[in-house]
Structure 1
Amino acid sequence: METLNGVDTGPERRASGVAHGLRFTLLYHPDLRRIGARATTVAVPGYAVPLSRLEPEFAQPRSHECAPLCDPHVSRKPHHVTWGADESVTITPAGRGQLSVDGQPIDETHRFPPDVLRAGLLLQLSRKIVILVHAVTTAPPAPRYGLVGDSDALEVVLRSIARVADLQVPVLLRGETGAGKERVAQAIHQASPRAGRPWLAVNMAALAPTTAAAELFGYAKGAFTGAHQRHAGLFERAHGGTLFLDEIGDMSMDVQAMLLRALETGTILPLGDTEQRAVDVRVIAATDVDLEQAIAQGRFRAPLLHRLQGYTITIPPLRQSREDIPRLLLHFLREELARVGDLRRLEPPADGALPWFPRSFMVRLLQHSWPGNVRELRNVARQLVISSRGADAIVIDESLERTLEQARQTPRPPSDAPRLAERRDADASTANPADHPMDREVDEDALLRALRQSRWSIGPAAATLGVSRTALYRLIERSPRVRKAADIPEDELMRCHHACGGDLDAMSARLEVSKRGLTLRLRELGRSGRLREAPPD
């Protein structure tokens, strides 16, 4: 159930599948269990939805348990989000410095046009909560088939699965690499009368013309040198079930011809055999190639395309369903943390403690364009868990930093449409372009907590704050509350060195400076002769 202020938002309208409305989806909350919760209001032009610590109430999809944000850092005084008759939205902030939209702080009323709203507005409340606001067409929820996510884009795919699953027609899945085409194919199989019967998958691009016939259709004993016994091919082994043909846009023309004949006749002829064999196979094919263009270029056979696309499902890229990114990420993090026995990382933080997964890093992930889609997101989750083992906060290693660096300047919106409000905050146009957009979102208290929690280690502190090492060094340099090793008076440094017996970790914790900076300072004193012996690295 989706709610607004704890009230079911129009079951009659939802059942019709045509009621437009606004949806508020929690993309980040310090209690990670609340990510993905939603509140939805039906379209009432001029009605202002209050957004504060106490309202509206959010519920996970298909759940009746509702609760407001309840974060002490979020003001009780509400921001107001107003739906317009032209399907625009107007946002009135509660006060200065409490709200940013798509990374831009707003301190007065802004109107956002319909195309921007359809792409989704990313709201950050008091630098603690991230909410996606977007227009929706509500309808009864479709069966999930084990797929993770609740975006409108996924709902379209789920409804397509429900329509075609029980029909004996071939299905063509189209979408970018890593978008989850094989998972959708498996969902079709599991939802069909063929569930429980054979499911086989093959990468058609990997089939060489010389071996494709044997792999697809099998061979008889003695068909060629080394064929010591009969071999059943993929079509025969999938009899009664489903055969998933992946990467069909990259297979050779010879293999295309073999496949077309089998699909047209419903029979196969194993190599070296003289008898055709009838096969009952449901074929689901997938590609990220523009097949129409491939046909025009002579690289794909038009009759094969017509045979394969009995029904086509287009799977949207991840950047067009940003509200699914946090839920998918948590799903993958749970899987990876369970493998290493560290699921406690996802528990709510203790009072005053920083969350293991910080808000600012989630924002970076939401701004990423995800060229590798769900597969790339799964890899990011695995990289985070492995690189963070034994650390108090997530560790963003060099490889992951390079991946996310691409999205750091100007994130591409999900619909590739311009994301411009009718006016911008004047400060945005005068901001220093060299500054990282996240730098301005880290307050002094959060900076100090992260440094202390990480024992003044730059890498873990940067990961906790969700910024790069370079950005963290800039923040430290600008902060009047953070000491640098170079600023410590020499007599204080010498007393601390003596008291700690030269132990760098103890000195770093006592002086509250980075170990690296401390090492460099002590080496300098050692070279100058003012320190009898520089401590070891």
Structure 2
Amino acid sequence: MQQKISDQLSTTAERPSGRQASSPRAVPVLTLVSHPQPQRIGERLLLETLANTGRTASLSRSAPEFSRPGLPPGQPLADPFLSRTPVQFAPGTRGRLRLLVPKDGTPVRVAEEPARGAREFLPEELIAGVPLVLAERVVLLLHLTRVPEAPVTQELGMVGQSESLRRVREDISRVADLDVPVLIRGETGTGKELVARAIHQQSPRREGPFISINLSAIPRELAASELFGVQRGAYTNAIQDRLGLFRAAQGGTLFLDEVGEAPPEVQVALLRVLETREVYPVGGNTPVPVDVRLLTATDANLEERIQRELFRAPLLHRLAGFEIRMPPLRERREDIGPLFLHFARQELEAIGEAHRLTVTDPRAEPWLPAALAVRLLRYAWPGNVRQLRNITRQLIIGSRGLPHLRIGDRLEQELTVDPQSAGSPHISGFEDTADPDELSPSRRRPADVGEQELLQALRASAWDLKATSERLSISRASVYLLIDKSSLLRTAGNLSPEEITRCFHECQGNLDKMVQRLEVSRRALQRRVRELGLGGP
């Protein structure tokens, strides 16, 4: 008997009483990313029937109804250029999900490839998100979500309904009223300061000051005086006392971003403040009591910095009274559409074109073209939400006065997807006559490949991802996803221009040596080298 997709994507958990109760189940969901009525971006359709019973779920222009998360059903796609003959979603083989496209129905693309007949998607692809384009007018992201979903009573200043963002909101609610230090981890541009502000606003200290400082932006020789203050006469130009940020935040919250960049002497002083709740101003001998909640953030691997003796382990233990991880944008692709809409609304209001988002004619040409929407979904977003906001601003300004968004040559080049970057979802759908290799009994489950085994295979294959997939007996798409999830590995997109440039000169432009040193995909690194104008190997 064909195994139901719900058997693959749902789990159970034991209550303390011993009775079995359903834990959140993974359910396929369609999220609107582009529509002739742009205000509908972010609406969703849960395919619960498919997950609960294994029955086929249908989608046409007239049914079923999409809605905002947590709200009653709203309206169907209602685009008159879509067919009434539905596309269908059904359980596939071995836990996959099958897309069925009728010959006389709506034309469908899966990312860049036309879909005809039947296509199947691996659970890993659903986790990454699969872009579906209907009649070049409506763009949907097919992905997974967990149900039942806890209702979101507060957005806490963060846009999105992805499971990873919901966990962040839950963590904020758990820790906000506790007077413990919080360490916020996440890549650059993910919104770590938003988390810190949300904690402050939900805490008993909300009436007090919230002071934010990026430690990497303070000259090393001034860091101690900026944080702890200066006593008059401490040095030549110290003609008066200065409070410093800790005393300025008295009764409130102090947020230190890039705490991993703190100089050694500042690390020692921070540890002392956390232990004694006292600061010593530069040049002073008398401790000054402070009542401040300390929140910190970093995009660095502090454990690695500890091993390299660049960061103090006791300080990490003190800072991490509670940890919150802010997910990168590539792990929450279902939030790209709502975030884009949020930033676009802000920019359009600033230039007096907010009417672009209030279209009521379902026959209108989509303001966000389907091809551009797919690019946004598939891009790796190394700069995360900050980069999305910047690109949204450029698109809005570059299309000012035009009926639809237009992408310029520079942005088009920036948003070009490189499958080797491991930052964008790879689509490996296939016809009913599936790729024999994909169904071969010799193929392994990606979940059975450990991080160390993956790392060893990559090194043995000289970071050639095709050779790695063959060595591990998994698909290349699975290699991309395992790299993306690994805590041990980086992608070429994660490397800073400075690190690549330095390595290029140290290796005298030898790309093979650079790959061995940086341990990233050769093809993706070659692309980054060319983008930086360093030339080929």
Q: SS where residue 22 of structure 1 aligns?
A: strand
Counterpart residue number, 2:112: 103
- Could you tell me which of 19, 28, 35 is aligned with 1:29? 35
8 Å CA contact 1:197–1:241 kept in 2: the answer is yes
Deviation at 1:266, TM superposition (A): 1.3
TM-score, structure 1 as length reference: 0.71
- Asked if the contact 2:78/2:362 (under 8 Å) is kept, the reply is no
Label 1:323 to 1:330 Cα distance change in 2 as closer, same or farther (>3 A): same
Deviation at 1:45, TM superposition (A): 4.0
Change (3 A) 1:332 1:189: same
Which of 242, 245, 249 is 1:238 aligned to? Answer: 249
Q: Does 1:275 align with 2:286?
A: yes
**CA distance in 2 between partners of 1:123 and 1:210 (Å):** 54
Q: Which amino acid aligns with 1:26?
A: L
Among 57, 76, 81, the residue aligned to 2:65: 57
Contact 1:79 1:91 in 2 (8 A): yes
| Residue 79 (structure 1) shift | 1.2
Name the aligned partner's letter for residue 135 of structure 2.
S
Identity %: 44
Larger radius of gyration: 1
CA contact (8 A) 1:217 1:236 kept: yes
**2:175 alignment counterpart:** 164
Aligned residues: 410
Q: Which runs of 5+ in 1 are unaligned?
A: 1-14, 427-537
Give the partner amino acid of 2:278.
T
**What's the offset of the Cα at 1:234?**
0.6
2:81 corresponds in structure 1 to 73
CA distance in 2, matches of 1:277, 1:343: 52
Change in Cα spacing, 1:425 to 1:379, as seen in structure 2 (3 Å) is farther
Task: Tell me by how many angstroms 1:214 deviates.
Answer: 1.2
For the residue of structure 1 that corresponds to 2:174, the secondary structure is helix
CA shift digits 1:146-169 (9 cap, x unpaired): 211111121111111111111111
Letter in 1 for 2:150: P
Work out the CA distance in 2 between the residues paired with 1:203 and 1:78. Answer: 52
TM (normalized to structure 2)? Answer: 0.71
Which segments of 5 or more consecutive residues in structure 2 lack a partner in the other structure?
A: 1-20, 435-537
| Correspondences of 1:28-427 after superposition (within 5 Å) | 28-42=34-48, 43-64=51-72, 66-83=74-91, 87-95=95-103, 98-138=107-147, 139-142=149-152, 143-348=154-359, 353-405=364-416, 407=417, 409-410=418-419, 419-423=427-431
For the 8 Å contact 2:90–2:99, the answer to whether it is kept is yes
Q: Distance in 1 between matches of 2:93 and 2:266?
A: 55
Amino acid aligned to 1:91: L
Q: Is the contact made by 1:86 and 1:114 (CA closer than 8 Å) also made in structure 2?
A: no
Distance 1:368 1:132 in 2: 14
CA 1:44/1:84 → structure 2, altered by over 3 Å: closer, same or farther?
Answer: farther
Q: Partner of 1:56: helix, strand, or coil? A: coil
Deviation at 1:255, TM superposition (A): 2.2
Provide, for residues 491-525 of structure 1, a one-character-per-residue CA deviation record: whole Å limited to 9, x for no partner: xxxxxxxxxxxxxxxxxxxxxxxxxxxxxxxxxxx
Cα distance in structure 1, aligned partners of 2:119 and 2:413:
34
Cα distance in 2 between the residues matched to 1:243 and 1:383 = 33
Please state whether the residue corresponding to 1:67 is helix, strand or coil: coil
**Deviation per residue, 1:226-274 (Å, 9 max, x gap):** 3332211111111121111101122322222222222222110112333
Deviates more, 1:99-108 or 1:179-188: 99-108
Moved over 3 A (4+): 83-87, 349-353, 390-393, 409-414, 416-419, 422-426
Q: Quote the Cα distance in structure 2 between the aligned partners of 1:352 and 1:342.
A: 20
In structure 2, distance between residues paired with 1:186 and 1:85: 46
Asked if the contact 2:66/2:76 (under 8 Å) is kept, the reply is: yes
Conserved? CA contact 2:128–2:333, under 8 Å: no
Distance 2:251 2:127 in 1: 43
What's the CA shift for 1:375? 0.4
Give the partner amino acid of 1:40: L
